[in-house]
A and B are shown apart, each in its own frame.
Chain A
Amino acid sequence: MAVATSARAGRAASRNTTWWPKLAEAIVAHAALITLSVIFAIPFFWMVSGALKTGPDMNAFPVVWFPTTLTLENFIAGVQVFPFLRYLFNTLVICVFSMVGAALSSSFVAYGLSRIEWRWRTPLFVIILSTMMIPFYVTMVPLFTMFRAMGWVNTYLPLIVPHFFGVPFFIFLLRQFFLSIPKEMSESARLDGANELRIYWQIILPLAKPALAAVALFQFLASWNDLLGPLIYLSDADTYTLSLGLTFFRGEYATQFGPLMAASTVVVIPVIVVFFFAQRTFIQGITLTGVKG
């Protein structure tokens, strides 16, 4: 009792006297946050300003921060060598199919590992989980020789088809989510005569929308950003993705930063737009994957 009151008094006292350290703290925090924000944002600024600069501004010393004359010539030069729309279309084909495949198959497998009680459920889950520890560089070479033997090289199949057989990380994520849905939801549907496929499709999937959205988004980004996969499997310039195209473009243009920055801007902007629309799903998805206890 006495302790409680003294603690309360102490807290009250500290509340009365802490207004100015609070203010100092806010000022210091803002100063630090603004400084760091500027540092983190400068490369983006540099990209856009570089994309809009003319030759003389580009090579000026000391550097010109804001272009003295704005120009679109870099974009025109970039797009002539870098078939943006073609690569965008290729990338979207891979992204969309991988996304649908990953979300469908991973949720399907996760259902069998969480909503049905059967004997091999846990051992199978442990095995699937343990494949997450196998790095891609171990399986990369045999996968390539296998897909080559199947005649899949220079097609999008090696980049899409594996996602239709469950992605271990997503299976893990969705299984955790499915386990949090009360058993009674399934039980009552079973009493009504629904089979497992219907329960999966009509009850569990609608409830799992936030987790599915996170999975779809993660897969979209993974496919959009992937370089190694397209680098290995795609050799025909017409089949390139944006990431691969930009990599070769970078090789050819070495230090012609104007067109390089224009091409980068064009690749970066869609991602930023997607991010602003789906910000909450992003953040939720990432925290969903974080460890808990």
Chain B
Amino acid sequence: MTATSAAPRSGSTHAKERRGRSPQQRRNTFWGLVFTAPGIIGLVWFYAYPVLASLYYSFTSATMVRPPAWIGATNYESLAKDPTWWQSLSNTIYYVVVSVPLGIAVALILALLLNLKVRGQSIYRVIFYLPAIVPLVASAVVWLYVFNPQYGVLNNVLNWFGITGPGWLNDPVWAMPAIIIFSTWGAGNLMIILLAGLQDVPKDLHDQAMVDGAGALARFRHVTLPFLSPHLLFALVTGLIAGFQFFTPIFVLTNGQGGPAGSTLVSGLYLFQNAFQFFKIGYASAIAWVLFIIVALATALVFRLVGRRVYYGGA
């Protein structure tokens, strides 16, 4: 209503401004620049310069104490031959491929259960959400104790069912699954987003489908899922990007080592080690760029494969 009455008016002022280069227009440009100035400075200082510098470093032999000297693509060549890099990349992909879908599935189950609007919903919501806001370092330290093979709660509970639990963080095979369990425990943020998405699903569409004899599963598949699909795509893409940056919990849980036997050495940690423990900033920058390109390609692939199936009629 306001839009239709305002549209012609703003259209005519636009036409007038364009013809007359009005002082109004100049004033707007002035104020626009004043307000965005901090953003423009930040853009150059904290994004443009570091990105270009990082790209440049990646072609140099720079260390923390040696100034950069151009060595061409040598860093990238050594990276291709570096077994630790390949191990870190495969660990990262393992982590992303398992933890992202698992996190989405758990968040979706929690959101669907909460959306049934049973009594005590808000209490359940707080319990599921708390792990997501507790400081990562603190919760990682707590899970260190949970995962402890002897004194930890997890293996003792498994014991009730006659299962002898593995060594978790001490076992090269089970360390990564342990870390994925830890990450899944923090699915609360995504749960809240999906819960908000579920509230957009029209209720009469559900009722209609029910009258038509659709079962709960069919209604989920054909009514809920399409309306939720933009949120799920968002979750997938942000999960992917965050998964490739995964760092803090592994740093705390493995004491900065990525062990045992390099089984949890993810690319983010390897990059950190190269930059701040081995001081090879040229090499670290090359890792950063390769990682960045991989993430960009993976994101593009997700959009190509999944993006088409997303239903945007909902909101």
Contact = CB atoms under 8 A, between A and B. Distances in A.
Interface of A: 7, 10-11, 14, 25-26, 29-30, 32-33, 36-37, 40-44, 46-47, 50, 58-59, 61-63, 105, 108-109, 111-113, 116-121, 124, 127-128, 131, 133-146, 162, 164-166, 171, 182-184, 196, 200, 221, 224-225, 227-228, 231-232, 242-244, 246-247, 250-251, 254-255, 257, 260-261, 263-264, 267-268, 271-272, 275, 279, 282-283, 286-287, 289-293
Interface of B: 2, 6, 25, 28-29, 31-36, 38-43, 45-47, 49-51, 53-54, 57, 64, 110, 113-114, 116, 118, 120, 124, 126-128, 130-131, 133-139, 141-146, 148, 150-153, 156, 159, 185, 189, 192-193, 196-197, 207-208, 210-211, 230-231, 234, 241, 244-245, 247-248, 251-252, 255-256, 268, 271-272, 275-276, 281, 284-285, 288-289, 291-292, 295-296, 312, 314-315
A11 B211 contact: yes
A206 B5 CA distance: 27
Given A109-B36, A290-B197, A165 B46 contact: yes
A227 B197 contact: no
Contacts of A136: 245
**Interface on chain A toward B: helix, strand, loop, or mixed SS?**
helix
B110 to A, nearest CB: 7
Contacts of B159: 62
Nearest to B14: A117
B130 to A, nearest CB: 7
Nearest to A195: B31
Q: Which of A138, A146, A231, A287 has the largest number of chain B CB atoms within 10 A?
A: A138
A278 B271 CA distance: 37
26 contacts: A37-B127, A42-B146, A44-B142, A47-B145, A58-B151, A63-B152, A113-B35, A113-B39, A124-B40, A135-B291, A138-B54, A138-B289, A141-B54, A145-B64, A227-B137, A242-B135, A242-B137, A244-B137, A246-B141, A257-B151, A261-B141, A264-B138, A279-B126, A286-B193, A291-B234, A293-B314
B72 to A, nearest CB: 19
A14 B36 contact: no
A242 B141 CA distance: 13
Contact of A257 (B45, B148, B272, B295): B148
B135 A268 contact: yes
A140 B31 contact: no
Contact of B210 (A14, A36, A42, A272): A14
Nearest to A251: B255
A225 B113 CA distance: 29
A142 B54 contact: yes
A121 B39 CA distance: 12
B252 A227 contact: yes
Contacts of A138: 50-51, 54, 288-289, 292
B231 A116 contact: no
Contacts of B50: 138-139, 141-143, 146
Contact of A43 (B36, B54, B114, B142): B142
Nearest to A49: B153
B39 A165 contact: yes
B292 A286 contact: no
Contact of B275 (A141, A184, A246, A282): A141
Closest 5 CB pairs of A and B: A112-B35, A165-B42, A293-B315, A118-B32, A142-B53
A196 B197 contact: no
Contacts of B314: 293
A14 B252 CA distance: 54
A109 B45 CA distance: 16
B231 A291 contact: yes
Contacts of A251: 255-256
Nearest to A261: B145
A225 B137 contact: yes
Residue of B120, B127, B244, B315 ringed by the most chain A CB atoms within 10 A? B127
B135 A182 contact: no
Contact of A141 (B207, B255, B281, B292): B281
B29 A119 contact: yes
B32 A112 contact: yes
B133 A282 contact: yes
B156 A63 contact: yes
